[in-house]
Chains A and B, each alone.
Chain A
Amino acid sequence: MSASANKQSYDLPAAGLRKFWLDFSESPTAVIALFVFLIILFIAIFAPWVSPSNPYDLTSVDIMNSRLPPGSEDFSGNFYILGTDGAGRDMLSAIFYGLRVSLGVGALSGLVALILGASVGLSAAYFGGRFETIMMRIVDIQLSFPSILMALIILAAFGKGVEKTIIALILVQWAYYARAARASALVEKNKEYVEAAKCLALGDKRIILSHIAPNCMAPLIVVGTLQTAHAISLEATLSFLGLGLPITEPSLGLLIGNGFEYMYSGDFWISIFPGIALLITIVSINLVGDQLRDMFNPRLQK
């Protein structure tokens, strides 16, 4: 039996990261979107170093500079490419800091919701029976409420603030993850490699964590990207309504909200530019998520 003959004439298909990039780069749109998103991420993480000024440093902000239109200079020679807001803060810097908060809140709530939702969904699928029925009915009930409504109810009950907003976002999102995880786990559960693991007496915990969960990651990542975008926009809505984050941690939504009153007097840039930044962020995340979803869709596989 010639083992080398078994190896030599077989072309090795790509694996791991290389394969991921080959598949992902099939869509030029997604590559551009990813690039844009990485820029946004970079800005968000390194905002204090990248911004022209710190808009929340009270010493550097001068009320005399308020409501300057985009492209204007002030008396000290500072150039405001996107103008200033009602308090004299540089819009560009405010947007950069705002991105930080928006992305941070969105990502953190998304991550916790993923862990919570995936745990529920995976165990419901694996153990089945009454446990599954009960958990999934809870998920269904949760999902039948519009997310805005749920978030408003939670914030009304517990009050405003950063932690409360994040908790509200987690409670709104976990059900999506639970549903995706359960659907995926149900498929994997019946595959032969799971039967093999049972035959090898590997124990339930091991099978769920080491065999089923990693193979469910793909749809969860897709849900994750799309949900993160959803969370960011949800938080923006809440902040716009004045219910989300406090003024000391302004997210893009809050900026849009605060700037709204100036729209009527023609100072559009105070509201519009944060809006555009929010738009770009959400669209780029969605496009990346779309491509990921197409990549992982078995029906579209060649």
Chain B
Amino acid sequence: MRQALEPILKINNLQTHFFTKAGILKAVDGVSFEIAAGEIVGLVGESGSGKSITGFSVMGLVDPPGKIIDGNINFKGKDLSALSNDQMQNIRGNRIAMIFQDPMMTLNPVLRIETQMIEAIQAHDGGVSREDARIRSRDTLGLVGISSPDERLRAYPHQFSGGMRQRVSIAIAMLNRPDLIIADEPTTALDVTIQGQVISEMQKLCRETQTALLWITHDLAVVAGIADRVCVMYAGRIVEQGLVANIIANPMHPYTQGLMGSVPSQNQRGKPLQQIDGMVPSMLNLPVGCAFQNRCNYANEKCSNMQPDITQVADGRQVRCFNIPAGQQL
């Protein structure tokens, strides 16, 4: 039973705002969700939804003019938003690791893979000898499916293809056996067949090591294939979250419905895709009330006056919308 597992990450009302010359950009505006040990949660949204900033906020990687101004990020009992940078250094790369869309954000082009991996190990555990660290690196490379790991360790990043580099990034993330991995669009830049390989590796790894995974992406189909639960974000807020199977079978929030209708597939052949008219509102100038109102087919006066609160739905999900049929609500 999912509810029995204690969450290792519990985010409550996270608010990360950017104080720019043009105004205050509310990139993350009241986000709350949990991840249990070994669970895979998808965070889905388009550009400007705030999904990446959420990931960065957890890692403490938000630079000025951005700042976490409210909310707490509870990781195994500690509030990450209250920690100093030095304290976060102990956790980053150690208990929580991050994988980026571009593997070259993780890899230093002028250092051998071996050097970078050993450095990642020794930074968090000074007592490990160089040889032990090298062995651990080699084993982890094997774990992510890289053949001849001894030779590969001595190579430079440019000698790998894009898919291999991403695997090396995953290996580096796994080195210190973190409790949580945050993956920000890890397969978006990869070819389909390579994407399949990387997704399959991550699935396997998370199952074997019971590592929790937060998979941030715009691709709902990828999340459908790998995640247990999903949070759909729009304009800095989570509009719907719950079990993946439930949400995909029966999306309730109009944005989720629109998003799913926009994805072309075999079922949609010949019919115009359901499109969401208009564009994401400017984050500097969000409307009063629900951020989605200007593009929503069901919007009414209530939507333009107040932001909807979270509605609990019978199947365990949460939706931010005034127009959920009363029969579905808890």
Contacts and interface: CB of A to CB of B under 8 A. Distances in A.
Interface of A: 1-2, 5-6, 8-11
Contacts of A10: 279, 282
Nearest to A5: B278
Contact of A11 (B282, B294, B295): B282
Interface string B264-300: 0000000000000111111011000000001100000
Interface residues of B, number: 11
Given A2-B277, A5-B277, A9-B281, 14 more contacts: A5-B278, A5-B294, A5-B295, A6-B278, A9-B278, A9-B279, A9-B280, A9-B285, A9-B294, A10-B282, A11-B22, A11-B282, A11-B284, A11-B285
21 contacts: A1-B277, A2-B277, A2-B278, A5-B277, A5-B294, A5-B295, A6-B278, A6-B279, A8-B294, A9-B278, A9-B279, A9-B280, A9-B281, A9-B282, A9-B285, A9-B294, A10-B279, A10-B282, A11-B282, A11-B284, A11-B285
Greatest chain B CB density within 10 A among A1, A2, A6, A9 is at: A9
A6 B278 CA distance: 5
Contacts of A2: 277-278
Contacts of B282: 9-11
Nearest to A11: B282
Contacts of B284: 11
Greatest chain B CB density within 10 A among A1, A2, A8, A11 is at: A11
A1 B279 CA distance: 12
Q: Chain B contact residues: over half helix, strand or loop, or mixed?
A: loop
Nearest to B278: A5
B167 to A, nearest CB: 29
A151 B294 CA distance: 67
Nearest to A4: B278
B309 to A, nearest CB: 24
Question: Which 9 interchain pairs have the tightest Cβ spacing?
Answer: A5-B278, A9-B281, A11-B282, A2-B277, A5-B277, A9-B279, A11-B284, A9-B282, A11-B285
Interface string B105-116: 000000000000
Contacts of A6: 278-279
B290 to A, nearest CB: 14
Nearest to B20: A302
A5 B279 contact: yes
A9 B295 CA distance: 11
A18 to B, nearest CB: 13
Contacts of A1: 277
Interface string B287-329: 0000000110000000000000000000000000000000000
Contacts of A5: 277-279, 294-295
A237 to B, nearest CB: 42
A119 B219 CA distance: 47
Contacts of B294: 5, 8-9
A97 to B, nearest CB: 44
A15 to B, nearest CB: 15
Contacts of B285: 9, 11
Contacts of A8: 294
A11 B279 CA distance: 12
A5 B294 CA distance: 8
A8 B285 CA distance: 11
A113 to B, nearest CB: 38
A8 B279 CA distance: 9
A11 B286 CA distance: 11
